[in-house]
Structure 1
Amino acid sequence: MLEISNKVKEMYPNIKFGVMAINITYSNPNKENFLFLKNSVTETILKQRPEYNRQEKIKTEPISNYIKYYKRFKKTYPVLLQLESLLLKSKGIPDVGITVESMFLAELKNLLLTAGHNLDKIELPLKIDVANGGEHFYGITGKEQVLTKHDLFLSDNIGILSSILNGPDNRTSITKDTKNILYFVYGVDGISEKQIQEHLSDIKDYVSSAFSDLKVNSIDIF
């Protein structure tokens, strides 16, 4: 399913990727079950970090692994900002659909960068490559995004699906009606297969709390 270019292996030899494809067909999700789980996980995250200090947090894994990647491009890790919105501003996960909220919830818990895509809009195979700089695609908001040289990006036969620095595309974005979903984890240097596996398992559990007919078609770590 995933082709990794030689350039990726040369420039980022220790990076890992996680891919999970799921299918849901049940038309009436159990929103109460999911909301209970969402609130429970959120409360646990808040209790684990009663006195938040950014300077101390960025020294801990896995945040420190992503900070190192983003720092080379003079960028801030977005999942860190999402965590701080919860901890410091009490801003929870917005109502954007259970399958997307499940991904955000797992990101806050495990702090691993994840992109979600509508699998029905993807034309396989998937490919990971290193940007030359200047490649472009339309981001999740519909705004044109230009890739930064040496950033990692995911593409299919049609175009770019996401990059680490620019996030996911608009073409394959997940809606509340999406039934076939692809979750993709960018595991930068220092992130283990075990961490990725557990992260994907959390996403699966969160989604299945609302969709009892969830089917996992594949889970692969590269």
Structure 2
Amino acid sequence: MHQPLKLTVAKGGELYTGISGREITAVAGDLMLCDGEGSVSSILRGPDARTSITSKTTNALFCVYAPPGVAPALVEENLMGLESRIRVFAPAAKTTLLKVF
């Protein structure tokens, strides 16, 4: 994954290889997270294969999408829970940013 990351609204028809290895076609109006090489994930179609976590991964990004009306504090609480579960199998993992936008 390459910075900067950009959150954008899909026009529909954008293509990327999904985590399953199948070609994914974005749905118009879907939110997509992209980097300089293409789509990283979309809400409706899921993550891409290119940036998936492998045994060689040294940096990871976890994005959580919440619908309107969900309190930011609740989202943050759940992110902190995810962080603690990650530390069970990766105790040396470091969080550089945990923020609700």
Taking structure 2 as the reference length, the TM-score comes to 0.92
1:165 is aligned to 44
Aligned pairs (5 A) from 1:25-174:
122-174=1-53
| Partner of residue 89 from structure 2, selected from 204, 210, 221 | 210
Aligned-pair distance for 1:177? 3.2
Give distance in 1, aligned partners of 2:66 and 2:7.
12
Aligned-pair distance for 1:211? 2.4
Q: State whether structure 2 residue 54 is matched by structure 1 residue 175.
A: yes
Q: 3-state SS of the aligned residue for 1:202?
A: helix
- Residue-by-residue CA offset, 1:24-83 (whole Å, 9 max, x unaligned): xxxxxxxxxxxxxxxxxxxxxxxxxxxxxxxxxxxxxxxxxxxxxxxxxxxxxxxxxxxx
C-alpha RMSD of matched pairs (Å): 1.2
Larger radius of gyration: 1
Aligned-pair distance for 1:201? 0.5
Aligned-pair distance for 1:200? 1.0
Give distance in 1, aligned partners of 2:55 and 2:67.
29
State the number of aligned residues: 101
Q: Which has the higher contact order (CA 8 A, sep 6+)?
A: 1
Taking structure 1 as the reference length, the TM-score comes to 0.44
> Structure 1 vs Structure 2: percent identity of aligned residues?
39
Structure 1 unpaired stretches of 5+? 1-121
Aligned-pair distance for 1:210? 2.6
Give distance in 1, aligned partners of 2:80 and 2:41.
22
1:101 is aligned to none
Q: 3-state SS of the aligned residue for 1:153?
A: strand
Structure 1: which 4+ aligned runs deviate by more than 6 Å?
none
Give distance in 1, aligned partners of 2:6 and 2:70.
20
Structure 2 unpaired stretches of 5+? none
